[in-house]
């Protein structure tokens, strides 16, 4: 019985750490995306290069976020899971309304230079970055909490 | 004088009272004048508002869209566009604006840029002639006197040495294509124009035929006959010969001539095996591979839906979509992005692709036109090649082959700080926030940019727009063409209405509507038109004293024709919801709306109606090139059309002539060579050549309309009042009520 408890505790800790690390990955994706759009605006990158570097990262980001949500569900963190569900729905909506293209991705080089589209993408990048950061601190706190409560 | 202009424009009137608004002759747009410093010709560069509001909120209060229209490569004479052959090109140090007539010349050695207000050093020879020779006061230098200037660019402006002109032609030789017989027409026109093709002795030329396989032609000058090489596997493309597929025109001239002679009979429809498939995608891909090291132009002639190889498409539109009263229009968007990707690859290598579609069946123009849209090419569409359209095809093809074009071009638009460029309309690829990449520039394309006022313009009294087109001529010379437009800034709402340029506004609205149709739906675009019109009129009513209470519809004089033109747009083939318009035709109309320059666009939106039977010598105006006729235009309404006359409608694409039932028999005899109305055939495609003065005048007038300097030469159709083709004419009478739409008057009262 003690063994089961031990394993359970380590599982919980493992989930917390995994969630935190996945969130770091998401943060890096967002930072890279923001940097790319900024370079586009200040003429250091052309739209074709931008799309070629950002499009391959779109699906991996969504997949990582899905894994994160699954882990949260497995670890019974229902409140955090519910907080992540809107983002999941938003990702599904964004992907389903992408322009018709053969590669997997969201950005079309001929439309990404429209000022309104560019502003929308930048706003999305910043908002998601802030969301992921806030969640990260939350997960980190959770990790510490799990370890501290394990020690006690 | 500025005040006087604005006072004049601010007059308003009641739209419901004044029935006949249309000025008899196409009005000229005006750009504001600044004393002796003339602004650029408005046909080259104009703005929807001739006075820019200070803040974005002021602009939104007036509900007038803000945008600029540009016709960068219009054919201009030497007086209209001085060319500066040598000397240093003066540019501002910080913002890199070219020197223009509106800079402030401070003392002897300094000048202030009018875009960023930085003070720059003037070189010592600013008072000399541009070639550094005689003394010419600085104010007389062409680049300080004219707002439209062309420079010869030194080598710093070149990414690589100017390349020879490369022209490549891809012909559809599937059985449907051969049935239409276009190949003999094209080969004949090409043969006749070989000497006047753009380029010099370095010009390279190549040909390719495609059905379900690719037929390459080896034209190496050492051969005695052109050699055909067939590649049947279109999925695994390779070029059969390392050289000889793209040859120097001068050296291989005899081979090219003999190929053009043989080509129509080589693929005679009876002899060739029945091969209905068309591998357009692989053909374009191989052409691109051949041409990519130089850049240049690929011309593709297509006659059917691409059905094999990469980029094959399915027939999406069925006949049931055409006949039913569809709720909305389907299949306006591209099905696959193969052609868009190809266009982007071409654009990166400075290759432009032009498409000629000659097909009456569905050929999914919505997808294949992407290859031209983003590589700055152009598209021509002919539903069938009967008598009337054959002449049109020939004329347009000849102009296409012989008009001056520029290669490897980039267009940069600089504006005063505070304004930013929002969306670009036109066939181009937007490489950066203010830079358009145009692998080919041609004289019949116009571009439009929507603007947004990001920062307040309070401390600026004049806003400057400068467009710089850097291109290589077909003779290998690198040139820069600069247009500068300067507009005052205002903080009063009344001035905005007083200075609105309604022609530019309508042009911009139509392009925005095309975007809206493609992104949401045609119905949404139609609502957009109505809401744009209503918003502008409502906003004007709010500021006009005394207009709120009355029932009258007050509009400013500067926007008087706006409602008329928007009503016409709602009936236009691009935006009409009923009537079973084939998707390809609709897409082509939308593309024309997007890329025609402003004057052609206005004629396309609101065709000109002329009373032909009234044409006489008093309408003759002597001009430089002979006699020109200027007939007054009429409103497009049945009340202007009387049974006793003959009328002509011109929308740039087709001239429709309608002969009334009670037309005088003198007219029939003099002009149409028939004794009376009853003996006229149902449909004629040209006026017979008779010796009477009236026939001569009419034929001259028609020829004048058909030989304008524009990409499109309208085809001529003449029919009687009771023929079955009369709907072709009456569809243009847009001011009247039809089954599915209200009349202009009714629109105003609603």
pLDDT tens digits for A31-44?
A: 999 999 999 988 88
Interface test with A, best of B333, B337, B372 (most A CBs within 10 A): B337
Query: Which residues does B534 contact at the CB level (< 8 Å), separation at least 6?
Result: none
Give me the pLDDT at residue A146, please: 83
Question: Quick check: A115 and B430 CB within 8 A?
Answer: no
Report CB contact under 8 Å: B429, A110: yes
The residue behind tokens 């806003």 is: B463
Measured in degrees and rounded to the nearest 5, phi and psi for residue B659 equal -105, 125
Three-class SS state of B625: coil
More confident: B541 or B370: B370
Distances (CA, A) of B299 to B177, B288, B347, B352, B400: 16, 11, 15, 8, 10
B-interface mutation test, from A110, A111, A116, A121, most B Cβ less than 10 A away: A110
A109: nearest CB among B344, B420, B435: B344
Name, of A143-147, B140-144, B746-750, the range with top average pLDDT: A143-147
Min CA distance, B602 vs chain A (Å)? 26
For residue B746, the model assigns a pLDDT of: 62
Put simply, whether A97 touches B (Cβ < 8 Å) is: no
Check CB contact of A43 with chain B, cutoff 8 Å.
yes
Does residue B5 have a pLDDT over 70?
A: no
DSSP state letter for B617: G
On whether any CB of chain A is under 8 Å from the CB of B229, the answer is no
Interface membership of A2 toward B (CB under 8 Å): no
Gap from A115 CA to chain B (nearest CA, Å): 5
What is the pLDDT of chain B when averaged over all its residues?
85
| DSSP character string of B89-152 | PPB-TTT-PBP-TTSEE-STTEEE-TTT--EEEPPGGGGB-TTS-SB--GGGSHHHH-SEEEEE
Structure tokens at B438: 């145009």
Q: What is the reported pLDDT for B138?
A: 66
The CA distance from B205 to B290, in Å, is 11
- Contact criterion met (CB below 8 Å) for B40 and B483: yes
Cross-chain CB nearest to B422 (options A48, A99, A115)? A115
The candidate with the shortest Cα–Cα distance to B286, out of B374, B197, B359, B346, is: B346
Rounded to a whole number, what is the distance in Å from the CA of B546 to chain A's nearest CA? 38
Interface size between A and B, measured as CB pairs under 8 A? 44
Stated length of chain B:
750
B435-454 residues touching A, CB cutoff 8 A: 435, 452
- State the nearest Cα–Cα gap between B518 and chain A, in angstroms: 11
B chain contacts of residue A115, beta-carbon cutoff 8 Å? 420-423, 433, 452
- The whole-number pLDDT of residue B528 equals 92
Nearest to B610, CA basis, from B732, B519, B508, B486: B732
- Burial call B614-647: b when 16+ CB within 10 Å, e when fewer: ebeeebbeeeeeeeebebebbbbbeebbeeebbb
Backbone phi and psi for residue A8, each to the nearest 5 degrees, phi listed first = -60, -45
For residue B421, the chain A residues in CB contact (below 8 A) are: 115
Q: What are B467-516's pLDDT values in tens digits?
A: 999 999 988 899 999 999 999 999 888 888 888 898 999 999 999 999 99
For chain B, give the percent of residues with pLDDT over 90. Answer: 35
**Shortest distance, CA A37 to any CA of chain B (angstroms):** 12
- B338 contact A CB<8A: yes
- pLDDT single digits (tens) B664-713: 888 888 888 887 777 788 788 888 888 888 888 888 888 888 888 888 88
pTM: 0.91
CA-based nearest distance A105→chain B, Å: 13
Secondary structure of residue B171 in the 3-state scheme: strand
C-alpha dist (Å) from residue B23 to B5, B587, B604, B610, B634: 19, 31, 17, 13, 8
Question: Given this model, what pLDDT does residue B623 score?
Answer: 73
Contacts of B88 (CB under 8 A, 6+ apart): B123
The three-class DSSP label of residue B175 is helix
* Cβ contact A110–B452 (<8 Å): no
Q: Which of A100, A115, A116 sits opposite B337 (nearest CB)?
A: A100
Query: Are B444 and B382 in contact, with CB atoms under 8 Å apart?
Result: no
Q: Is B559 left (phi over 0), alpha (psi -120 to 50) or beta?
A: alpha
Lowest mean pLDDT among A81-95, B9-23, B589-603, B708-722: B9-23
* Tokens standing for residue B174: 């599937």
Instruction: For chain A, say whether B349 makes contact (Cβ under 8 Å).
Output: no
B413 pLDDT band (50/70/90 cuts)?
very high
Taking the Cβ of residue B421 and every Cβ of chain A, the question of whether any pair is shorter than 8 Å is answered with: yes
Rounded to a whole number, what is the distance in angstroms from the first to the last CA of chain A?
18
How many Å lie between the alpha carbon of A62 and the closest alpha carbon of chain B? 23
Contact A102 B452 (CB under 8 A): no
Strand extents, DSSP E, B320-461: 351-358, 379-382, 406-415, 419-425, 429-432, 435-441, 447-453
Within 10 A of B541 (CB to CB), how many other CB atoms are there? 17
B151 touches A: beta carbon within 8 Å: no
């Amino acid at each position: 019985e003690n063994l089961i408890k031990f394993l359970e505790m380590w599982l919980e800790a493992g989930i917390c750490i995994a969630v935190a690390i996945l969130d770091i990955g998401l943060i890096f994706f967002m930072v890279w995306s923001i940097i790319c759009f900024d370079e586009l605006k200040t003429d250091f990158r052309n739209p074709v290069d931008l799309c070629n570097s950002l499009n391959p990262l779109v699906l991996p980001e969504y997949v990582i976020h899905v894994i994160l949500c699954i882990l949260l569900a497995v670890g019974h963190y229902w409140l955090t899971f519910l907080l992540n569900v809107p983002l999941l729905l938003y990702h599904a909506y964004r992907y389903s309304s992408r322009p018709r293209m053969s590669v997997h991705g969201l950005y079309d080089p001929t439309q990404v230079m429209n000022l309104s589209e560019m502003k929308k993408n930048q706003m999305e990048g910043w908002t998601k970055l802030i969301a992921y950061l806030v969640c990260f601190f939350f997960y980190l706190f959770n990790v510490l909490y799990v370890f501290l409560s394990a020690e006690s | 004088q500025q005040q006087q202009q604005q006072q004049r424009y601010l007059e308003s009137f009641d739209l419901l009272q004044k029935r006949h608004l249309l000025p008899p002759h196409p009005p000229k747009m005006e750009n504001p004048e600044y004393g002796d410093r003339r602004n650029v010709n408005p046909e080259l560069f104009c703005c929807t508002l001739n006075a820019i509001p200070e803040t974005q909120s002021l602009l939104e209060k007036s509900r007038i869209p803000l945008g600029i229209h540009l016709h960068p490569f219009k054919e201009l004479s030497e007086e209209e566009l001085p060319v500066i052959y040598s000397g240093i090109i003066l540019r501002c140090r910080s913002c890199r604006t070219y020197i223009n007539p509106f800079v402030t010349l401070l003392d002897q050695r300094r000048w202030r840029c009018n875009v960023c207000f930085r003070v720059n050093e003037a070189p010592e020879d600013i008072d000399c002639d541009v070639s550094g020779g005689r003394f010419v006061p600085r104010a007389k230098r062409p680049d300080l006197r004219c707002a439209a200037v062309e420079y010869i660019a030194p080598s710093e402006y070149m990414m690589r040495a100017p390349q020879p002109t490369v022209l490549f032609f891809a012909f559809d030789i599937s059985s449907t294509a051969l049935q239409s017989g276009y190949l003999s027409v094209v080969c004949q026109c090409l043969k006749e124009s070989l000497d006047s093709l753009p380029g010099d002795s370095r010009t390279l030329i190549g040909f390719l035929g495609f059905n379900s396989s690719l037929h390459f032609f080896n034209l190496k000058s050492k051969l005695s006959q052109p050699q055909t090489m067939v590649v049947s596997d279109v999925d695994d493309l390779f070029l059969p010969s390392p050289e000889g597929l793209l040859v120097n025109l001068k050296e291989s001239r005899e081979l090219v001539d003999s190929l053009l002679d043989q080509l129509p009979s080589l693929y005679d429809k009876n002899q060739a095996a029945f091969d209905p498939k068309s591998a357009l995608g692989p053909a374009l891909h191989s052409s691109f591979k051949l041409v990519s090291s130089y850049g240049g132009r690929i011309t593709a002639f297509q006659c059917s839906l691409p059905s094999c190889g990469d980029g094959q498409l399915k027939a999406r539109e069925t006949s049931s979509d055409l006949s039913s009263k569809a709720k909305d229009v389907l299949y306006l968007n591209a099905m696959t992005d193969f052609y868009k990707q190809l266009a982007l690859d071409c654009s990166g290598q400075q290759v432009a692709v032009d498409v000629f579609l000659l097909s009456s069946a569905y050929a999914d123009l919505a997808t294949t036109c992407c290859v031209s849209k983003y590589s700055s090419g152009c598209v021509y569409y002919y539903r069938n090649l009967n008598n009337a359209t054959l002449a049109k095809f020939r004329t347009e093809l000849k102009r296409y082959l012989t008009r001056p074009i520029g290669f490897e071009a980039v267009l940069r638009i600089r504006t005063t700080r505070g304004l930013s460029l929002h969306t670009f309309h036109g066939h181009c690829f937007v490489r950066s926030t203010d830079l358009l990449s145009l692998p080919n520039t041609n004289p019949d394309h116009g571009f439009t940019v929507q603007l947004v006022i990001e920062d307040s313009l309070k401390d600026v009294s004049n806003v400057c727009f400068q467009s710089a087109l850097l291109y290589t001529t077909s003779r290998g010379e690198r040139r820069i063409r600069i247009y500068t437009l300067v507009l005052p800034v205002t903080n009063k709402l009344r001035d905005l209405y007083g200075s609105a340029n309604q022609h530019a506004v309508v042009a911009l609205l139509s392009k925005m509507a095309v975007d809206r149709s493609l992104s949401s739906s045609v119905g949404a675009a139609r609502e957009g038109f109505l809401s744009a019109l209503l918003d502008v009129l409502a906003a004007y009513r709010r500021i006009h004293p005394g207009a709120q209470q009355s029932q009258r519809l007050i509009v400013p004089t500067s926007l008087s024709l706006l409602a008329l033109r928007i009503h016409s747009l709602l009936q236009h083939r691009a935006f009409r919801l009923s009537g079973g318009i084939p998707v390809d035709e609709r897409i082509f109309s939308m593309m024309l709306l997007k890329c025609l320059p402003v004057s052609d666009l206005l004629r396309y939106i609101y065709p000109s109606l002329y009373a032909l039977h009234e044409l006489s010598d008093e309408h003759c105006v002597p001009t430089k090139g002979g006699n020109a006729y200027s007939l007054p235009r009429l409103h497009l309404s049945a009340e202007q059309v009387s049974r006793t006359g003959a009328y002509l409608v011109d929308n740039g694409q087709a001239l429709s002539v309608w002969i009334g039932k009670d037309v005088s028999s003198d007219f029939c005899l003099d002009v149409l060579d028939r004794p009376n109305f009853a003996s006229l055939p149902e449909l004629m495609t040209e006026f017979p050549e008779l010796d009477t003065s009236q026939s001569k005048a009419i034929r001259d007038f028609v020829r004048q309309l058909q030989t304008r300097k524009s990409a499109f030469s309208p085809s001529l159709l003449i029919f009687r009042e009771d023929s079955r083709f009369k709907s072709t004419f009456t569809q243009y009478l847009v001011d009247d009520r039809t089954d599915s739409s209200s009349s202009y008057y009714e629109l105003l009262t609603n």
